[in-house]
């Protein structure tokens, strides 16, 4: 009787069928969205503290004038809709495509750090801005791998989602508090949070980088394990990994050359199109139609994470220009001092 009724019910297309139950997928997406929110909030706090320190130095030296970026914070209905949008995309994207996004980002990050040279600090800051959607995919892959086969999987994910939500709320409150009251509290020195940031705020960026390294290290192990589950033999796995490694090595070299020739925002968007386009071509050859549709969702997710945070990219580029101008001014001062000593002698 039930089989006869189910025969008349419409069936969902394959790209709408989730890897896990809808509740588990939603909780994984919620954890990923909270991780992206924490990253953006702490990165804004770090860049704001650097901006304030540069402004203090510029007041002492009137010859150097630092430009202040226009900070954009999404609050209210716009911020809530953006958070729900990112949560839904991370919940729908399958674990296979999310694993490929994680591996691609880690390959690009390692190769970029090796070849960055003297621009390494600015490259790392821009990399943190670009890793937002990859971070959400990394958290989703790790949770899918760690809780696979658990009898009470939804309960573990619920606890993780609750803790992530609490941390995201605290990070957002810290961001709003710092941007609104840091100047006043750091000058009068009566707020514990602002005094702590004033004394040890430089370590925030290092802690953030170490945390992301741990998250992506666990995600790489989970991603390799998830992808290998789809292969029946070592020959199929070799046929998949060989073009993936070759294509993305060439893409990484090409994208690094593009980033040196174009502005930061334009180079970032070109990078997203090139690397996800290459991943789509790869999935058209060795993947499934479900993976291709999920990669299209990754296009939308990357754009939804990068476009609202273009102010962070502008802030990193402005601080890089300030560092270069300060460096050139120091060099010119040293040259003038040397010339004065030579003339005196």
Q: How far apart are CA 30 and CA 158, in angstroms?
A: 10
Q: pLDDT value at position 208?
A: 93
Q: How far, in Å, are 43, 159, 172, 215, 219 from residue 69 at the CA level?
A: 14, 38, 19, 30, 33
Per-residue pLDDT at 8: 44
The string of pLDDT tens digits covering residues 238-274 is 777 777 677 666 666 666 665 555 555 666 776 777 7
**pLDDT band at 150; cut points 50, 70, 90:** confident
User: CB of 26 within 8 A of CB of 140?
Assistant: no
Angstrom distance (rounded) from CA 322 to CA 55: 11
pTM metric for this prediction? 0.81
pLDDT of 74 = 60
- Shortest CA distance to 248 belongs to which of 278, 223, 284, 273? 278
341 pLDDT higher than 70: no
Mapped onto helix, strand or coil, the DSSP state of residue 13 is coil
Region 289-311: mean pLDDT is: 85
Q: Judge whether residue 68 has pLDDT over 70.
A: no
Of residues 70 and 22, more confidently modeled: 22
The 10s digit of each residue's pLDDT in 35-45 is 999 999 999 99
Measure the CA–CA gap between 44 and 63, rounded to whole angstroms.
Answer: 27
Among 34-43, 87-96, 287-296, 334-343, top mean pLDDT goes to: 34-43
Banded pLDDT at 60 (limits 50, 70, 90): low
Asked if 101 contacts 281 with a C-beta cutoff of 8 angstroms, the reply is no
> How far is the CA of 221 from the CAs of 36, 102, 260, 267, in angstroms?
21, 10, 32, 29
pLDDT in tens, 191-217: 888 888 888 878 889 999 999 999 999
Mean pLDDT of the chain, nearest integer: 77
DSSP state string for 190-245: --HHHHHHHHHTTHHHHHHHHHHHHHHHHHHHHHHHHHHTT-SSHHHHHHHHHHHH
Q: What is the pLDDT of residues 79-132, one digit of tens each?
A: 889 999 999 999 998 888 888 889 888 888 887 787 777 777 788 888 888 889
Cβ proximity of 171 and 42 under 8 Å: yes
Q: What percent of the chain has pLDDT over 70?
A: 70
| CA 218 to centroid of chain Cα atoms | 16
Greatest Cα-to-Cα distance within the chain, rounded to the nearest angstrom: 106
* Cα 53 to the center of its chain, rounded Å: 25
Higher local confidence (pLDDT), 330 or 148: 148
> Residue 169's pLDDT is what?
94
């Amino acid at each position: 009787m039930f089989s006869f009724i189910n025969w008349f019910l419409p069936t969902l297309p394959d790209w709408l069928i989730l890897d896990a139950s809808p509740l588990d997928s939603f909780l994984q997406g919620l954890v990923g969205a909270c991780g992206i929110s924490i990253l953006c909030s702490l990165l804004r706090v770090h860049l704001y503290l650097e901006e304030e320190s540069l402004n203090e130095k510029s007041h002492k030296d009137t010859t150097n004038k630092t430009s202040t970026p226009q900070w954009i914070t999404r609050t209210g209905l716009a911020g809530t809709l953006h958070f729900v949008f990112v949560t839904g995309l991370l919940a729908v994207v399958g674990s296979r495509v999310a694993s490929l996004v994680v591996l691609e980002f880690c390959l690009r990050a390692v190769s970029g750090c090796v070849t960055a040279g003297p621009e390494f600090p600015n490259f790392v800051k821009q990399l943190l801005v670009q890793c937002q959607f990859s971070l959400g995919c990394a958290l989703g892959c790790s949770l899918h791998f760690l809780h696979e086969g658990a009898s009470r999987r939804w309960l573990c994910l619920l606890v993780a989602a609750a803790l992530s939500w609490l941390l995201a709320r605290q990070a957002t409150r810290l961001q709003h508090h710092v941007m609104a009251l840091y100047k006043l509290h750091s000058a009068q020195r009566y707020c514990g949070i602002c005094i702590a940031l004033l004394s040890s705020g430089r370590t925030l960026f290092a802690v953030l980088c170490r945390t992301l390294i741990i998250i992506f290290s666990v995600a790489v192990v989970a991603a390799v394990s998830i992808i290998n589950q789809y292969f029946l033999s070592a020959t199929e796995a070799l046929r998949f990994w060989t073009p993936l490694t070759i294509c993305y090595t060439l893409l990484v070299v090409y994208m690094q050359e593009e980033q040196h020739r174009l502005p930061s925002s334009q180079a970032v968007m070109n990078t997203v199109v090139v690397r996800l386009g290459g991943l789509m071509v790869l999935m058209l050859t060795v993947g499934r139609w479900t993976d291709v549709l999920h990669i299209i969702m990754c296009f939308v997710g990357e754009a939804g994470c990068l476009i609202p945070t273009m102010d962070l990219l502008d802030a990193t580029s402005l601080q890089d220009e300030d560092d270069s101008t300060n460096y050139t001014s120091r060099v010119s001062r040293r040259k003038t001092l040397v010339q004065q000593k030579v003339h005196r002698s």
